[in-house]
Each structure stands twice: as C-alpha cells, then as structure tokens.
Structure 1
Amino acid sequence: MRYFILISASLISFSALAYDDIPPTLSEWQRAAQNPLSPNFSLPIEYKYHGGAPDGGVNIGSFAPIMPIKFDGWNIINQLTLNVMGTPGDITGIRGLPEPYTGNGHGGSDGYAAGLADTFFTSYISPDINDEISFGIGPTFVFPTDEPSRELGSGKFSMGPAAMFVYQTPTDWTLAFQAQQIWSVFGSSEREAVSQMILKPTVNYNLPDGWYLLSNMEVIANWRSPSDQRWTVPIGAGVGKLFAVGENAIDTRVQGYYNVVTPDLGPTWSIGATVSFIFGEL
C-alpha cells in the first residue's frame, strides 16, 4: 500500500510538472490568431458577400483548416480552403472568379448557380526566427472542384508561388503582407487561361479584453483582362474579439470594404464574418 501511494504521488507530481499551470493570456492568443504563420492548428469558418455588381451579389462560404507541421527550427504551414459559392450572373474581380461567370440567363434568377467552387491549397515553409518576425515561402494551388458547366470558378487547375511576411510588436500591432501569383496549367478548353495575382496587406491593432481593430484587404489583379478591367482595390476595416476557452481560443471578426477600383462587372463593396477555432500550445 505504501508503494502504491508513493507511485501515485510521483505520477501526480509528474503530471503537475508537465501541465502548464499558467494558461496563455489573451494577448498571447491574439498574437497567435493574428499571425497566419503561427504553428497552431486552427479551423477558420468564413462567410463573405460581394455586392454592388451590375448582375447581383456573390455569396461565398469558406472552411479553411490550417494544418502545421513542426520540426527542428522550421514549420510548414498548410492551408486548405473549401469554398461554396452562389452567384446570379456575369461577375468578376474577386478571387475564384478570374473571369465573369456566365449563367444560362446571363444574370437574374434564370442564371443563378450555387455549389462547390474552386478549392485553394497553400503551403508555406517558415523558419523560427524570433517572437516579432515571421516569413514563409511556398507553392499555392487552385483545384477546379466547381462544376465547369456552371462556371462557379476558373475551370482550370492553376499554381504558382506564394510568400508572406509578418511583423508583430511586443504589445499592440501586427503587420502582415501576403502575395500570390497563379497561372493556369490545364483545365476546361471552354474557359480562358488564368493569370491572377492576390495581394493581402493586413493591419491589426489590439485593444483591451481581447478586442482588436483590423484591416485585411485583398487586392486582385487579373493580368489577362484589359488594363482598365484588371484591378480590384478595396479599402475598409473591421473589428474582432478573441475569447480564451481553457487551453484553446475562439477568434471572431466582422469586416466591411469598399472597392475604390473594380472592373465594370465586379462588385463595389463586400462584408464578411469569420469564426476561427484555435488549438494547441503557444
């Protein structure tokens, strides 16, 4: 009995040493949530609406798990993005629609289509540097998982390079810049070739109690479009709130943007909401 008590006490002591008695602070969770290269498994779920296009709006729901692989001094950050889209007509100027969607009715209820759109996958190789600077490079892919006859995406398998840089101050600010360029490789012969650049400058400013302000703009360039129809350039901002839940966290945010530059068939504004479930040790 004495040995059983000693062994039990030893196991309890070991468990106490192995468990971090001090859970991450809201500030630490914010840094992890706002750094796309943070090696934490997370499950972002996003809804975005693009409005103001001549033929109507585009609804996009996304499920985008981030799956890190850690090894000595390096991380591989993998993100798979599954998209469900609904759109009524000839619309372009957003990621996933490098050329206008053309429905049977060319807009209106007769041309509306909804379903699985293109799937994106990006993998960043990122070295451990310090607590303030992160950067990663790697490939990005677009898989034409939409139904080509309904043209809910590009209709092409595309690929290209991706790069990201993140700077975080010790307290309040996170600044990030992401760049991707994709070119079509093969796909539907009825669809135009793709050459699309995506630039994402991001600014986060943290407030007390898990609140923060953000601007996460997505600038699009479709290089095969005429020069006056090539760019989508938004401006806007949003607000977010992070909740610590035991050893995990939930990050929520809402955003709104106005496109100061957009193609004739593109949307003029967008709104979005995201909920991210974040897991793992910091």
Structure 2
Amino acid sequence: MRIKSMWHVCCVALLLFSTFALSGEIVAEELPPLSSELAGFGYDDPSLYCDSVSCDGMSCGDPSHHRFEVGRCASRFKLTEFNIYPTFSYLDDKAASYNEFEFASMTDLGWLEMENRTVMNVTDLPSTIKLGPTNPDQGSTTANVRSQGFGDVLSGFFFSPRGSHEQNTHLGLGTVITFPTASDDLLGSNQYTAGPGAHFSTEKGRLTAGFFLWQSWGFGGDSSSKRVNQLFGKPFILFELNEKWDAVFIPLGMSHSWKSPKGDDWTVPLGGGLRREFDCGDHKLALTTQMFDYVARKSKDPEYELRFTIEYLFD
C-alpha cells in the first residue's frame, strides 16, 4: 500500500516538474544547410523556406539563413501563484494541523486557456478529526489514534475562453481529480475521486468574490473504503481596505456529504480575517490570518480553527 502511495507521489511530482519545465526559454538551434537534392526539387525557393520561429508562427526568407532566431519566446505555460495554508483545528481537547501547498498556473491552448490548481498537503491528525477536500469521513475509526504524513493530491483543471481570466467577471469549467497518495489510511480517502468543477470570480470596485465548486465521486483504490460522494466548495471574499490591507473570508472549504445522515452531512465554517500585501521584487507576497467557527459541522469536523496563508504571486 505504501509503495503504491509513493509511486503516486513520484508521478505527481514528475508531472509538476515537467509542467514547470515548459516555462523555460527556447534555445536557438543550428540547422544543417539544404542538400543539393532538396534544392533541385525547388526547396531553395525563399517563399518555401522558413528561417525563424516565433510564438506566433514562422517567418520565411533567404534559404542561406540556417539558424532558428527564436529569442525570448513567451511560453504557453505560466505559474501564477504558490500558496501555503497552515491550518490549526480544534475539537474538544484534540488539535490537528493541516498544511496545504497549492500551485496555480495558466496554460494557453489557443482559443482556450486552462487554469490548473494542484494541492498537496502534510497533515497531523487524531482519528477524531477529519479535514480538507481530500480527507472525507470514512466512518468509524479507532479512538485515540494519531497519524502524520502526506495526504491525497488534488488537481483541478478549469477551461475558459482565452484572456477571460483578465476580465472583471470570469468563469472556468472543468474537472477536479484526487489521487490516493496518502501515507496513512487516516489521512486520505483510499480511492481516486473525480467529478465536474467550476471556478467563478468577479471584481467590482474594492470587492473581489467568487468560489471553486466541485462534485466528487470515488472509484478504484481500496474496495473496502466507503465511496466518496461529496459536494465541496471553497468560497472567497476580499474587500480592499487600502493599498496594502484587505478584509478576507477564505475558509478551508464547505462541503455536503450526500450519503451521510441528516444532521451529519454539512460542513460550514464562518469567520474571516486580514490580509497584508508586500512588494517582493517584481512580484507580490501576501500574508493572511483568519479565525473560523464551524456553525454547521459533522461529528468529526473541528469546532473552530486558526488559518494562515502565505501567498507568492507571480502575476
């Protein structure tokens, strides 16, 4: 079980590394001269020979030029954010920590653009508390057991018309998938999950608001595990107080478990906090502190939590 989990972690890490590599600069490459045979077939015609490449296509010219003059070409892939969410949750006399690491990127697909949000987490949980979109309650567990390690990996893909994320109102539609990479059964769902998802955001004056919303169904993995059937939402509200400070509401998430009994099916935290933005070279760094009370909770949800955010913004 653990070997398979490490294999999943390595695959996801390789996927992220390969994706980041796409953002590198293209290197000029020397081409061999045209052979006399090709020239004899008319390939020495300048109108048929392309001597340079750009992000927008190829330009044609003198066949005596045999070098790609690419220069610094804007990549189709761009890493936009790296966020860390240390979260400390409390239930009775028990405490849990949940540390999310989120990579956000945009990829140009021609007339479409794809936003990707990949979330990994390192967790320290007692068996009496369940946290996060990748760790739904799987039924009764042994009391007074505690586990630390990696949780499942979640990745969301949201598609929208090219350039729409720069508009005041933006909607992306796609899918959200989780992989059973947890290092311990208590820290994950022990199965794959997938389902439709959406990302909506709007800006008006000083207010920015929106949500990530997705439905997850479980499949594969451990056949003895309770199958996930969960609606999960991550709303966000930011109100600009001045150039550096924002009032914010960005919870870990809200959820509804369709198969749970009434009264033990909703997770709804309410609260908020403050966000401070700093200049960091050509980019931005933001720090957030929030406090939440769970006004609707399942039996293994925390009663309250303290949530921090460290955001590094590349845009």
Decide whether aligned partners of structure 1 residues 183 and 100 sit closer, same or farther in structure 2, where only a CA change above 3 A counts.
Answer: closer
1:62 lines up with 2:100 in the alignment: yes
Deviation at 1:62, TM superposition (A): 1.4
Match of residue 197 from structure 2 = 162
Deviation at 1:69, TM superposition (A): 0.7
Matched position secondary structure for 1:187: coil
Matched position secondary structure for 2:260: coil
Larger radius of gyration: 2
Match of residue 244 from structure 1 = 279
Structure 1's unaligned 5+ residue stretches are 1-38
Deviation at 1:74, TM superposition (A): 3.3
Match of residue 183 from structure 2 = 147
Q: Deviations over 1:51-82 (max 9, x none)?
A: 12x57232111111112112445321111111
Decide whether aligned partners of structure 1 residues 266 and 100 sit closer, same or farther in structure 2, where only a CA change above 3 A counts.
Answer: farther
Q: Relative to structure 2, which stretch is displaced further, 126-135 or 245-254?
A: 126-135
Q: Deviations over 1:223-275 (max 9, x none)?
A: 12111111111111111011122321112111111011111232111211111
1:48 lines up with 2:87 in the alignment: yes
Matched position secondary structure for 2:117: strand
Match of residue 207 from structure 2 = 173
Decide whether aligned partners of structure 1 residues 55 and 230 sit closer, same or farther in structure 2, where only a CA change above 3 A counts.
Answer: farther
Structure 2's unaligned 5+ residue stretches are 1-77
Q: Which residue type is aligned with residue 262 of structure 1?
A: R
Decide whether aligned partners of structure 1 residues 225 and 210 sit closer, same or farther in structure 2, where only a CA change above 3 A counts.
Answer: same
Q: Is the Cα contact below 8 Å between 1:48 and 1:272 reproduced in 2?
A: yes
RCO greater where, 1 or 2, for CA within 8 Å and sep 6 or more? 1
Distance in structure 1 (CA, Å) of the matches to 2:220 and 2:262: 25
Q: Is the Cα contact below 8 Å between 1:258 and 1:270 reproduced in 2?
A: yes
Distance in structure 2 (CA, Å) of the matches to 1:241 and 1:51: 25
Q: Which residue type is aligned with residue 176 of structure 1?
A: G
Match of residue 195 from structure 1 = 229
TM-score, length basis structure 2: 0.70
Q: Relative to structure 2, which stretch is displaced further, 249-258 or 126-135?
A: 126-135
Q: Which residue type is aligned with residue 214 of structure 1?
A: V
Q: Is the Cα contact below 8 Å between 1:51 and 1:267 reproduced in 2?
A: yes
Decide whether aligned partners of structure 1 residues 101 and 240 sit closer, same or farther in structure 2, where only a CA change above 3 A counts.
Answer: farther
Q: Relative to structure 2, which stretch is displaced further, 63-72 or 211-220?
A: 63-72
Q: Is the Cα contact below 8 Å between 1:98 and 1:154 reproduced in 2?
A: yes
TM-score, length basis structure 1: 0.77
